[in-house]
Amino acid sequence: MSRFWKIAGIILAVVVVAALGYRFLHKAGGAGAAGRGQGAGDGAPVPVTAVPVVKQNVPVYLTSLGTVQALNTVVVSPQVSGRLLSLDFVEGQPVKKGQVLAHIDPRTYQAAYDQAVARQSQDTAQLATAKSNLERSEGLVGKGYISKQDLDALRNTANQLQAAVAADAASVRDSKVQLDYTNIISPIDGLAGIRGVDPGNVVTTTSSIVTLTQLHPINVMFTLPEQDLDLVRSAFAKDASALQVAALDRTDSHPIASGGVLRVIDNQIDTSTGTFRLKSEFSNADNALWPGQFVNVRLLVSTVDGGLVVPAQAVSRGPDGDYVYQVQADNTVKMQPVVVAGEVGDTHVMIGSGLKAGDQVVTEGQFRLKPGSKVTTLKPGEVPPAPTAAELEKSTQARARGGRRG
């Protein structure tokens, strides 16, 4: 009997434990379902910031790193040797085309010029005498006073002297050129750099007096990937003046110069980098661009008429691509897939497909949303109104009930 009662007690205990466990689990599941049902049914609308999709003309830019290059750079060197007497320019200051930059001692070249002039005068006098003798002798040949052989000799002498006079004239011009080279002239309008030699030194044709750079206008050289070549060439062939270029600082935040025009597309692609070079030109009236300076280049290649534009923060990236939260007519939201066609400035993007003008998209508060969430839309900068006393009391009571249930 004792063994029977032991087995019966064990069976009874198992039944009681199973019943208690079933009751406990049933209550927990009911309470969880009730809580979930209450949260779904009593959820307050989520305040979010929403803006409409706007339609506007969107410029299409290509950007790159560029280098400022002087329109002309000239290293001024003497064309004759001699002692440098003076420098007639100020370092770092503008010079004009034709301005005298330096003087070389001209005495040796002046003497050579004077000798050439004197030799020309001497040969010219001899030529005049030879011509006179020839003219007198031509009248005496018929009378037999002079032979034809002597007449030919006189004629040849006159011709030789005439050639000598011509050679003397060339020698005079050459000597004058050498003499003029003692005044070193600026070949361009430009800005003088740091002088390369001091007065008093003997300079040669390999010496460097100064380097001149022409800043007005000025060029900016930059490169673009080869996949942009067809786009740029098509736009350049259609209207080259429409390809406007702007130069920005290193941070892309401040325009240094605008109004540049694309001048040249290079005739080949660099196979090592897969890029092609372009040359743009700026008036540079305010000297904002300086040779050797690095700038960020922004090239306007086209303008999209009626592009759809939204703030960049409205677009999120998911596993299936980009999407936005779009506000529906019943103040719920849905995840709307979109295709981003490009950037518009630093704060907006252009939508290629997925939206239309006037659609409301959420720009702030997306992290609290899921598809189907009820929302209260606010304008940018607007804050939700403060809760009323009745709403605060209702919220307090709801928290109290939740605490007792817990």
Asked if 61-70+214-306 and 74-210 have one fold, the answer is no
Structure confidence at residue 142 (pLDDT): 61
Give residues with Cβ within 8 angstroms of 140, minimum separation 6. 146
- Segments of 229-347 assigned E as strands: 244-248, 255-270, 275-282, 294-311, 316-318, 321-327, 333-337, 339-344
Residue by residue, pLDDT tens for the chain (406 residues) are 456 556 666 776 666 666 666 565 554 444 444 334 333 334 678 888 999 999 888 888 888 999 999 999 999 999 999 999 999 999 999 999 999 999 999 999 999 999 999 999 998 998 888 888 777 777 666 666 777 777 778 788 888 889 998 999 999 999 999 999 999 999 999 999 999 999 999 999 999 999 999 999 999 999 999 999 999 999 999 888 888 999 998 887 788 999 999 999 999 999 999 999 999 999 999 999 999 999 999 998 888 888 889 998 889 988 888 999 999 989 999 999 999 887 777 788 888 888 988 899 999 988 888 899 898 888 887 777 666 666 566 666 656 665 544 4
Structure confidence at residue 1 (pLDDT): 46
* CATH architecture of the domain with residue range 46-57+307-385: Beta Barrel (2.40)
Structure confidence at residue 28 (pLDDT): 44
Structure confidence at residue 279 (pLDDT): 96
Task: For residues 258 and 275, give the distance between their C-alpha atoms in angstroms, rounded to a whole number.
Answer: 24
Give pTM, 2 decimals.
Answer: 0.64
Structure confidence at residue 59 (pLDDT): 84
Structure confidence at residue 35 (pLDDT): 39
Task: For residues 274 and 228, give the distance between their C-alpha atoms in angstroms, rounded to a whole number.
Answer: 11
Per residue, the 3-state secondary structure of 201-255, as one string, reads: CEECCCCCCEEEEEEEEEEEEEEEEHHHHHHHHHHHHHCHHHCEEEEECCCCCCE
Q: Which CATH superfamily is domain 61-70+214-306 in?
A: Efflux pump adaptor protein, beta barrel domain (2.40.30.170)
Structure confidence at residue 292 (pLDDT): 92
Say how many C-beta atoms besides its own lie within 10 A of residue 327's C-beta: 20
Structure confidence at residue 376 (pLDDT): 86
* CATH architecture of the domain with residue range 74-210: Beta Barrel (2.40)
Only one residue has tokens 């540049």, namely 260
Structure confidence at residue 341 (pLDDT): 82
Structure confidence at residue 296 (pLDDT): 93
Question: Is the CA virtual torsion 187, 188, 193, 199 positive or negative?
Answer: positive
Break the chain into its structural domains and give their ranges: 46-57+307-385, 61-70+214-306, 74-210
